[in-house]
Amino acid sequence: MSTIGLFDILEIDRSHGCFTLNCDSAAVTCDASNLVVKAVAALADSVAKGSSAGLIASLNSSNHLTEKEVGGEARDLDGEPRNREGGAMTDFGLKVALHKRIPVGAGLGGGSSDGAFTLLALNQLWNLHWPRRRLMEIAKTIGSDVPFFLNGPSAIVRGRGEEVESIEQPGERPAGKWVPIIFWPKPMPTPLVYREFDKLRLGKESNLSPQPPWNLWVKLASEDLLPLLVNDLETAAFAIDPQLGQVRADLESLLLRPVRMSGSGSSLFSLYDQRPEAEAATRLVTQRHNLQVLTIELAPDVPDLLNE
pLDDT in tens, 52-79: 444 444 443 334 433 333 333 333 323 3
What residues contact residue 184 under an 8 Å CB cut-off, 6+ apart? Answer: 106, 241, 244, 247, 265, 266, 267, 268, 291
Return the pLDDT at 54.
44
Extract the residue ranges of the chain whose pLDDT is less than 70: 16-17, 49-92, 171-174, 307-308
Q: What is the pTM (predicted TM-score) of this model?
A: 0.84
Return the pLDDT at 174.
64
Contact 266, 244 (CB under 8 A): yes
- Rounded Cα distance, 168 and 38, in Å: 30
| 264 closest CA partner among 89, 109, 102, 119 | 109
Return the pLDDT at 23.
94
- Rounded Cα distance, 110 and 101, in Å: 8
- Rounded Cα distance, 174 and 274, in Å: 7
Q: Is the previous residue joined to 170 through a cis bond, with omega within 30 degrees of 0?
A: no
- Rounded Cα distance, 26 and 182, in Å: 21
Number of alpha carbons in the 13 Å side-chain half-sphere of residue 145: 18
Return the pLDDT at 206.
74
What residues contact residue 24 under an 8 Å CB cut-off, 6+ apart? Answer: 97, 98, 99, 100
What is the SS3 assignment for 190? helix
Return the pLDDT at 72.
35
Q: Percent helix, strand, coil in the chain (nearest 5)?
A: 35, 15, 50
* Torsion-angle region of 215 (φ positive above 0: left; ψ -120 to 50: alpha; else: beta): alpha
Q: Where are the beta strands (DSSP E) in the chain?
A: 9-14, 19-23, 94-99, 155-158, 163-166, 178-183, 260-261, 268-269, 292-297
Rounded to a whole number of angstroms, the CA Rg of the chain reads 21
Quick one: 300 exposed, middle or buried, by C-beta within 10 A (0-12, 13-18, 19+)?
middle
Number of alpha carbons in the 13 Å side-chain half-sphere of residue 185: 5
